[in-house]
Amino acid sequence: MPYAVAVDIGGTFTDLVAYDRDNRRLVCTKSPTTYEDFVKGIVDCFEKADVPLAATDLVNHGTTLVINALLQRKGARTALVTTKGFRDVLEIARANRPDPFDLHYSRDEPLIPRDLRFEIDERINARGEIVRALDPADVRALATTIQAAGVQAVAIFLINSYANSAPESELAQQLRILLPDVYITCSTELTREWYEYERSGTVAANAYVGPEVDAYLRRLRDDLGTHGFRGALNLMGSNGGLLSVERARRQPVALVESGPVGGCIGAAAFAKALGLPNVIAFDMGGTTAKCAHVAQGSYAVETTYYVGGYTRGFPIRSSVIDIVEVGSGGGSIARVDAQGRLSVGPQSAGSTPGPVCYGRGGTQPTITDANLVLGRLNPRNFLGGEIDLDEDGAMRALELLGASLSYTGSDGAATVADGVIAIATLVMADAIKQISVKQGLDPRDFVLFCYGGGGPLHASSLARELSIPEIIIPPEPGNFSAVGMLISDARLDFATTFVRALDDGAPDAIRATIAQLEQEAFQAMAKDYPIENVVFERFAEMRYVGQRHNIKIGIDPSADARGLDAAFCDEYRRRYGHADPGAKAEIQALHVSAIVCTEHLPLSSMSVHQVETPELAPRKIHFGRYQGWQMAACYWRGALPVGFNAAGPAVIEEYGSTTLVWPGDTFEIGALREIRIRLGASQI
């Protein structure tokens, strides 16, 4: 079979990237996302790319289905079943007000309203002992009540089930028999960690999106099959690993960040292939920018994720690549308030009306308009010439903005446009600091790896702000998330709360628990993937006795207590600059990740989009307040051979993205056709 394919359904576009094994080349296509029928959109993409499904043996699929259903509250009518006395855990949440001076603050409504939250008289204590057992008669009565409520899904959450999952499993099993047409899921199938609100929120979210994901995946497989597809279908999990369709149907909440992780995987693969120990993966699109830290070819995975943000959203306990997101994208709007203060984003002009220069009715200047005014975008070659940019409109909008700050004329427009970029750069640099400086890492040791439509355009400003000496722009930056999905392994994460001091007896207990988690992970993985080459990674969440915040460290289970303590102290010192070797450490949780390596797209085969090389002339580009306007060489990326090198000022254009090389910087086309930019000495 010649084709391995990745399909990434995003908010605006559905991207398809196919690797043609016979000809060792990539085929890429984009088409507008079809909200009314995602499956049809996928099949259309195959046709547009001329990739026959019958000649495809692998489809890796990323989708925003889950996050959209959660954010737009478009999931199933769902009931919660919980221990007597605890139905309001989901609504009371952690009772905090993250926006302290908002008199009118309220959290988003819970996914399951109070009249659909049912209690059952049972109890487990903190040691996992059953204080009151489930009464089968109560379960039957409950099933009748649920039936009458007309729900499509049931979430089961019992207090202290982290310490003993048997009652939840038993309840789930009985309800599945009594309610065969209802989607039923329980908290300990998703997470074995304590904290009732986080665990109940996780299972509520899983139930809420379960029926839709279940139906979608069944239909997707059937429809692809109708078109001749007989190969393997995987889903892109938020943890950066692939999931089988069966697991995704049981655990849809694992798909919550299914889309953006693709880019991180791609960045990790490039980092490994190029031998780069420390990389910041940076993705800038139309409305937001995202970044993640890739160390030694792998990324950090967080176990708590806030759906809808920390301020008003709710947490789920599910492994998600540690991605920090800020509201800076090409469409972010620049404005001046009544006190003369300039700000950029997070409001976005989106794709409609979009930036002023799109000529679709937008009137507020955006980051894209600022880039156009500064000569950084080619108005005749935007998205391969698909959109003709309105330079005059962008200029007028920025002149108006400049005038409100007493900058006048076209010089004023350029000055304020440069200011808009400078402020956006600061916001994005803050996001990168969150994953570097705040964790004790020095950005000067990093390489900045940029993709997404806007990443390559802003890479140099960001690198300057953070003193990062080198930038890499991979091939196909505009489709890079889908590319990453072709490089992904299958991965499952298991975790359990494990509270004990790090004393001499601890290592044996850790080994026993890790072995048990590995066994569980192995069995789960064996259902879906060939397990000859399963690899385990083990982590412990640790802290000093008396602290609350844990740090997660990779552990070697054969280590003794002293070795574990040293590993913890080293990581602590690296993050916070100090450690207290005299203080006692304790363990809070253990994690095991099972990884099965699957076939990968060979990075060297990423030949760039073959389209006709357009005529490009040098043009004047504005390089910030200190260097101003300079004549810059203009290159078409597809025409640059491996080994090509030149100095800035320059701009490198391609379909869907533009790379800016500043005066004094140099660039080279690397062995994997990546653009490598080295910053010159001038740092501001």
Partner 1 sequence: MKDQATKVDPITLEVIRHGVVAIANQIDANITRTAFSPFIYEYKDYAVGLIDAQGRIVAQNTGGMPIFVADSVGMAAREGLRVYGADSMRHGDVILCNDPLVQGQHLNNVVMYTPVRIGERRERLIGFFAINMHWMDIGGSVPRSTDIFMEGLQLPTVKLWQEGRRNDDLYRLIARNSRFPTELLGDIEAQLAGCLLGRDLLADLADRYGVEDYEAAVDALLDQSEAASRARIAAMPAGEYTAHAMLDGDGESDTPLPITVRVRVHGSELTVDYSGLPPQVAGCINAGYFGGGLTTARVGFKYLMGSDEPANEGTFRPLKLILPPNTLLSGSPTAPIGNYNRSFPTVIDAVIRAFEHVLPQHVTGGHFGTFAVLRMQGRRLSGAHLDFIDGGYGGWGAGAGHDGSGPYRTMAHGDTRVVPIELQEALYPFMVEEFALRQDSGGAGEYRGGLGLLKSYRITEPLNIRVDFDRLRCPPWGVCGGKDAKSGWVTVHKSSGEVITLYKTKAHPVQPGDVICMEVGGGGGYGPPERRSRDLVSRDIARGYISKEAARSDYGFDG
The binder of partner 1 chosen from 72, 100, 615, 641 (CB under 8 A): 100
Strands 447-451, 183-186: pairing kind: unpaired
Tell me if 646 contacts partner 1 by CB under 8 A. Answer: no
> What residues from 437 to 456 belong to the interface with partner 1 (CB under 8 A)?
437-438
Please, what is the minimum distance in Å from the beta carbon of residue 99 to partner 1?
5
Tell me if 657 contacts partner 1 by CB under 8 A. Answer: no
Nearest residue (CB) to partner 1, 89 versus 463 = 89
Residue 682 is encoded by which pair of tokens?
A: 């001038």
Please, what is the minimum distance in Å from the beta carbon of residue 288 to partner 1?
18
Tell me if 433 contacts partner 1 by CB under 8 A. Answer: yes
Nearest residue (CB) to partner 1, 197 versus 629 = 197
The CB-side HSE value for 38 (13 A sphere, CA atoms) comes to 25
From residue 229, alpha-carbon distances to 30, 46, 175, 221 in Å are 21, 11, 35, 8
Residue 355 is encoded by which pair of tokens?
A: 């930036």
The binder of partner 1 chosen from 324, 422, 553, 633 (CB under 8 A): 422
What would the DSSP string read from start to end of 210-223?
Answer: HHHHHHHHHHHHHH
The binder of partner 1 chosen from 87, 192, 458, 464 (CB under 8 A): 87
The binder of partner 1 chosen from 63, 415, 488, 657 (CB under 8 A): 415
CA 635 to chain centre: 32
Extended beta strands in 455-597, E state: 470-473, 490-501, 534-544, 551-554, 585-596
244 DSSP β-pair partners:
234
What would the DSSP string read from start to end of 275-312?
Answer: T-SEEEEEEE-SS-EEEEEEETTEE-EEEEEEET-TTT
The binder of partner 1 chosen from 24, 73, 94, 574 (CB under 8 A): 94
Please, what is the minimum distance in Å from the beta carbon of residue 373 to partner 1?
15
> What residues from 596 to 625 belong to the interface with partner 1 (CB under 8 A)?
625
From residue 529, alpha-carbon distances to 19, 60, 161, 537, 632 in Å are 21, 14, 29, 17, 52
Tell me if 565 contacts partner 1 by CB under 8 A. Answer: no
From residue 58, alpha-carbon distances to 4, 61, 401 in Å are 5, 10, 51
The binder of partner 1 chosen from 511, 575, 609, 678 (CB under 8 A): 575
The binder of partner 1 chosen from 42, 81, 89, 459 (CB under 8 A): 89
Please, what is the minimum distance in Å from the beta carbon of residue 646 to partner 1?
31
Rounded to whole angstroms, the Cα distance separating 602 from 581 reads 45
> What residues from 308 to 347 belong to the interface with partner 1 (CB under 8 A)?
337-343
Size of the site for partner 1 (CB under 8 A): 72
> What residues from 388 to 407 belong to the interface with partner 1 (CB under 8 A)?
405-407
Tell me if 148 contacts partner 1 by CB under 8 A. Answer: no
Tell me if 626 contacts partner 1 by CB under 8 A. Answer: no
Please, what is the minimum distance in Å from the beta carbon of residue 405 to partner 1?
5
Residue 131 is encoded by which pair of tokens?
A: 């204080």
Nearest residue (CB) to partner 1, 112 versus 672 = 112
Tell me if 581 contacts partner 1 by CB under 8 A. Answer: no
Residue 56 is encoded by which pair of tokens?
A: 């495809």
Instruction: Pick the stretch among 93-101, 445-453, 658-666, 673-681 that binds partner 1 (CB under 8 A).
Output: 93-101
What's 98's DSSP letter?
S
> What residues from 194 to 213 belong to the interface with partner 1 (CB under 8 A)?
194-197
The answer to whether 70 touches 205, Cβ cutoff 8 Å, is: yes
- 3-state class (DSSP) for residue 182: coil
Tell me if 409 contacts partner 1 by CB under 8 A. Answer: no
- 3-state class (DSSP) for residue 90: helix
φ/ψ (deg, to 5) at 253: -65, -20
The binder of partner 1 chosen from 92, 501, 631, 642 (CB under 8 A): 92
What's 675's DSSP letter?
E
Nearest residue (CB) to partner 1, 386 versus 549 = 549
Rounded to whole angstroms, the Cα distance separating 65 from 27 reads 25
Exposed e or buried b per residue across 391-420, where buried means at least 16 C-beta atoms within 10 angstroms of its C-beta: bebbbbbbbbbbeeeebeeeebbbbbbbbb
Please, what is the minimum distance in Å from the beta carbon of residue 498 to partner 1?
12
- Closest by CA position to 11, among listed 49, 65, 52: 65
Instruction: Pick the stretch among 70-78, 81-89, 240-248, 504-512 that binds partner 1 (CB under 8 A).
Output: 81-89
Instruction: Pick the stretch among 106-114, 291-299, 500-508, 609-617 that binds partner 1 (CB under 8 A).
Output: 106-114
Look up residue 661 and give its amino acid.
Answer: V
Please, what is the minimum distance in Å from the beta carbon of residue 310 to partner 1?
9
Tell me if 118 contacts partner 1 by CB under 8 A. Answer: no
Tell me if 104 contacts partner 1 by CB under 8 A. Answer: yes
Tell me if 130 contacts partner 1 by CB under 8 A. Answer: no
Extended beta strands in 331-385, E state: 332-336, 342-348
The answer to whether 528 touches 247, Cβ cutoff 8 Å, is: yes
- Closest by CA position to 366, among listed 403, 324, 327: 327
Rounded to whole angstroms, the Cα distance separating 377 from 632 reads 12
Instruction: Pick the stretch among 169-177, 290-298, 411-419, 657-665 that binds partner 1 (CB under 8 A).
Output: 411-419
Query: Is the previous residue joined to 211 through a cis bond, with omega within 30 degrees of 0?
Result: no
Site string for partner 1, 461-500 (x = CB under 8 A): --------------------------------------x-
Please, what is the minimum distance in Å from the beta carbon of residue 114 to partner 1?
4
Tell me if 643 contacts partner 1 by CB under 8 A. Answer: no
Instruction: Pick the stretch among 191-199, 373-381, 476-484, 600-608 that binds partner 1 (CB under 8 A).
Output: 191-199
Rounded to whole angstroms, the Cα distance separating 349 from 343 reads 15
CB-based burial label for 335 (10 Å; 0-12, 13-18, 19+)? middle
Tell me if 72 contacts partner 1 by CB under 8 A. Answer: no
Tell me if 57 contacts partner 1 by CB under 8 A. Answer: no
Nearest residue (CB) to partner 1, 132 versus 396 = 132
Residue 263 is encoded by which pair of tokens?
A: 């880019």
Tell me if 103 contacts partner 1 by CB under 8 A. Answer: yes
Question: For the chain, what's the residue count?
Answer: 684
Instruction: Pick the stretch among 47-55, 229-237, 257-265, 413-421 that binds partner 1 (CB under 8 A).
Output: 413-421
Please, what is the minimum distance in Å from the beta carbon of residue 321 to partner 1?
20
φ/ψ (deg, to 5) at 166: -60, -45
Instruction: Pick the stretch among 56-64, 374-382, 469-477, 577-585 that binds partner 1 (CB under 8 A).
Output: 577-585
> What residues from 533 to 562 belong to the interface with partner 1 (CB under 8 A)?
544, 546-549, 551
